Amino acid sequence: MTIALIDYGAGNLHSVHNALRAAGATNIAVTADADVVAKADRIVLPGVGAFAACAGALRAVPGMIEALELRVRKQGAPFLGICVGMQLMAETGEEYGVHAGLGWMKGTVALLTPTDPAAKVPHMGWNDVVPTLPHPLIEPGEAYFLHSYAYRGADVIATTEHDGPVTAAIGRDTMLGLQFHPEKSQRYGLALLERFLTWRP
């Protein structure tokens, strides 16, 4: 089984790669090659930084958007988006203007605007993940978050609390997105990655 870990210059590749290996993956292709992605059994899209920069970097990789559409949307390969990689699944992101995402989920990514001064932005640290809909990969637990923008829209399957509910995970069909970092979430994150590696949607 091949795991394509997409390298588009916007992800915490080393940590995610190590976490996937710790979860049991043995054939991980860290790649910017659309042909590799189009043939992979599972696909992981990490992301750190601003939505617009990440979206632009992903679109700049020749054939990558087309490969993702083919392998994930048409052929149903299991897909995992992490942090900004999850946010890119949305229709739009509102960081430094309005920018197009992949459009896989009907929603937008907007700035966190807590009214409680104690709820700082960025939202950083350990928080509970609370499932809102049943999903085979998402269990209650505590995970590590680091973000200033959050997804708002359809297909929310888990939330966390930061002066009100904030999206922690989204999912539909063979697609899963995590706002938190499983690679930094110790046993909870590794167990989730283990489930992803054996997931048969």
**Which residues carry out catalysis?**
83, 181, 183
Q: What is the dihedral of CA 12, 144, 3, 90, to 10 degrees?
A: -90
Which DSSP symbol is given to 72? I
Are 14 and 46 in contact, with CB atoms under 8 Å apart? no
d(CA 78, CA 114): 34
d(CA 5, CA 24): 15
Sorted by sequence, the CB contacts under 8 Å of residue 134 that are 6+ apart come out as: none
Quote the longest CA-to-CA distance of the chain: 48
Structure tokens given for 128: 């509970």
Which DSSP symbol is given to 104? S
Going by their DSSP bridges, the two strands 42-45 and 3-6 should be labelled as: parallel
In the three-class reduction of DSSP (H, G, I as helix; E, B as strand; rest coil), residue 20 is classed as helix
In the three-class reduction of DSSP (H, G, I as helix; E, B as strand; rest coil), residue 194 is classed as helix
